[in-house]
Amino acid sequence: MKEFFNALADPSRFFLIFTVAVFAMLKWREFFTAPKVALTIFFGAVVFFVWAIRDPGFKANITKPDNIPIIFMLFLVGFFSWLSLYRAVKNDRRIDRGELPEEAVENPKKVLTWPDLVYSEFLCMLIGTAVLLIWALLLKAPLEEPANPNKTPNPSKAPWYFLGLQEMLVYFDPWLAGVILPGLIVNGLMAIPYVDTNPKGNGYYTFKERPFAITSFFFGFIVLWVSMIILMTFLRGPNQAFFGPFEPWNLHKVEPTVNIQFSQIFWEQWLGTSRPTGWFLRELPGIALVVGYLAITPMLLAKTVCKKMVAQMGNPRYLTMMIMFLIMVAMPIKMVLRWTFNLQFIVNIQELFLNI
């Protein structure tokens, strides 16, 4: 049984299962959000934790003061995803029948900031403070010895909310994963109100009226960000090697991997020659691939699958959205390539410290 879970936790397998699960949940949301099914899943998770915590290694990892909030977060994320989908499904049914969404029936007029919003905000603040207080009383702060530049803790992990960033750093150069991509994430989030002009779903839950937006959100947040927090917290051990949840953290776990560059694959394996010496010619296929991915794909999609979308959004909006979307999708592509082929960089210009 434990071996089975360890095998599932192999990164590519874990990522695949996770992604498929999220998409399945969206596709068959009517089934999965039924309270009985959702409760079964919830109890299944609880039973799993209760069973798994008898394993000393798993227990040590789960009960680390740093990791307890992550467990809370996982359950909360699950709960709120369920809640939003559950209400969306209900509303979609009503809209299909030609009725108004629930929220519109509950509050036919506008809701006031004061007292409605401020009141619930105040309540939330009180509850939040209480929870933090109890938390601070019950759990010791996980302080460590003073920092020492000669001794990096092994494994070194960022605070949980940054684990997604740290995981990105495994696949990309610091300038890309630490500067450009986070900048794009922030800017992309700020661009959403300008890009997404669909007025539907304002003030009520719905899925059918904005399937693309909600699916992208689930993909970007749950699949990319949350799954990486899980991966980083529970599946990476010393030396950032991957460990199953029930595998002891062996300092000397050997993972024989040797990186390969895209230029090597292209020139040596496909063409059977040696790589050109100048970096430009050597990296040309990789550069072409990256540029093609970002420049040609949007056009191809605009001509085929996304025709309607372009007509609705107009070119500038469509391009902004598509490029952001493609960059987001590039992340898992690169991860899977690294895990399966040990591909280190697609463009690898060491001479200029520019790798993609």
Partner 1 sequence: MAAAAAKPAAPRPKVQLVWEPKELHRRDWMLVASWSLFALSSLVGTLFYVLRYLFPNVTYEPPLQFKAGLPTEFAPGRVDERFKASFGTWVVRNELGLYALSTVCTHLGCTPNWLEGEQKFKCPCHGSGFRKTGINFEGPAPRPLERYRIGLADDGQVMIDKSAKFQGEKGEWANPESFLYV
Query: Closest approach of Cβ 277 to partner 1, in Å?
Result: 12
Query: Closest approach of Cβ 355 to partner 1, in Å?
Result: 5
What six digits make up the tokens of 302?
Answer: 């605009």
Residue 97 binds partner 1, judged by CB under 8 A? no
Which region holds residue 93: left if phi is over 0, alpha if psi is between -120 and 50, else beta?
alpha
CA 156 to CA 251: how far, in whole Å?
13
Among 33, 81, 166, 216, binds partner 1 (CB under 8 A): 166
CB closer to partner 1, 155 vs 183? 155
Residues in region 219-278 near partner 1 by CB under 8 A: 238-241, 251-252, 254, 257-259
Q: Is 348:355 a contact under the CB 8 Å cutoff? A: yes
CB closer to partner 1, 54 vs 151? 151
Residue 174 binds partner 1, judged by CB under 8 A? yes
CB closer to partner 1, 109 vs 151? 151
What six digits make up the tokens of 225?
Answer: 């960000």
Among 152, 269, 273, 274, binds partner 1 (CB under 8 A): 152
CA 26 to CA 262: how far, in whole Å?
35
Q: Which residues on adjacent β-strands are paired with residue 155?
A: none
Query: Closest approach of Cβ 14 to partner 1, in Å?
Result: 17
Query: Closest approach of Cβ 167 to partner 1, in Å?
Result: 9
Query: Closest approach of Cβ 145 to partner 1, in Å?
Result: 14
CA 296 to CA 299: how far, in whole Å?
5
CB closer to partner 1, 224 vs 322? 224
Among 17, 37, 52, 170, binds partner 1 (CB under 8 A): 170
Residue 340 binds partner 1, judged by CB under 8 A? no
Query: Closest approach of Cβ 143 to partner 1, in Å?
Result: 19
Query: Closest approach of Cβ 241 to partner 1, in Å?
Result: 7
Among 102, 173, 196, 268, binds partner 1 (CB under 8 A): 173
Amino acid sitting at position 4: F
CB closer to partner 1, 169 vs 284? 169
Coil vs helix vs strand at 199 = coil
CA 230 to CA 227: how far, in whole Å?
5
User: Which H/E stretch holds residue 92?
Assistant: helix 68-96
What six digits make up the tokens of 181?
Answer: 């991509």
Query: Closest approach of Cβ 67 to partner 1, in Å?
Result: 18
Which residue is listed with tokens 């989908």?
A: 85
Angle, CA of 156, 160 and 226, to the nearest 5°: 120
Residue among 307, 252, 222 nearest 20 (CA): 222
Q: What is the DSSP string of 15-81?
A: HHHHHHHHHHHHHTHHHHTSHHHHHHHHHHHHHHHHHHTTSHHHHHHHTSTTTHHHHHHHHHHHHHH
CB closer to partner 1, 65 vs 153? 153
Count of residues in contact with partner 1, rule CB under 8 A: 34
Applying CB under 8 A, the span of 66-74, 147-155, 202-210, 309-317 interacting with partner 1 comes to 147-155
CB closer to partner 1, 193 vs 256? 256
Applying CB under 8 A, the span of 36-44, 70-78, 170-178, 308-316 interacting with partner 1 comes to 170-178
CA 150 to CA 258: how far, in whole Å?
27
Amino acid sitting at position 334: K
Q: Which residues bind to partner 1, rule: CB under 8 A?
A: 149-156, 166, 169-174, 178, 238-241, 251-252, 254, 257-259, 342, 344-345, 348, 350-351, 353, 355
